[in-house]
Amino acid sequence: MKKLSGDILKSSALSITSSRTKILDIFLSSPTALAHQDIELKCKEKYDRVTIYRTLQTFMEKGIIHTIPSSDNITRYALCNDECIVAGHHHDNHVHFSCDACGKTICLDDTQIPTVKLPIGYHAHEINMIVSGVCKTCK
């Protein structure tokens, strides 16, 4: 069953506003990660940059979306799956793929990040894995 933005907002104890609904709908209809600028371009209603930024921050805090770091220093955001937030923290252990040809970034939910054995005394808080190459569409 397809998730609806209103249901996601309600289950996250968020007010249903036009900006939250519209921005969440954009994520729900996008198979790829989105940058702030992508969201601005896709919004027919023109929300100011601050509204979009605050909405993204709120969605991250509630575990609705997560960030994906990139080599071009542009933060991209993607929807979290149902298991993404555990005990108030993102538990987003999957690989992200960045296509060199089309520039799209996607979550590879079925591909796990390999175990990283750290030296004694080191403790990881987060591991990000981005694989770059050419996606199946651009192949």
Chain segment 12-21, per-residue pLDDT in tens: 899 999 999 9
Q: Is 82 exposed, middle or buried (0-12, 13-18, 19+ CB in 10 A)?
A: exposed
Supply the pLDDT for residue 87. Answer: 45
Percent of the chain with pLDDT over 90: 39
Q: Compute the distance between CA of residue 42 and CA of residue 62 in angstroms, rounded to an integer.
A: 23
Q: Which fold has domain 5-133?
A: Arc Repressor Mutant, subunit A (1.10.10)
Supply the pLDDT for residue 133. Answer: 92
What are the boundaries of each domain within the chain? 5-133
Supply the pLDDT for residue 118. Answer: 94
pTM of the model: 0.77
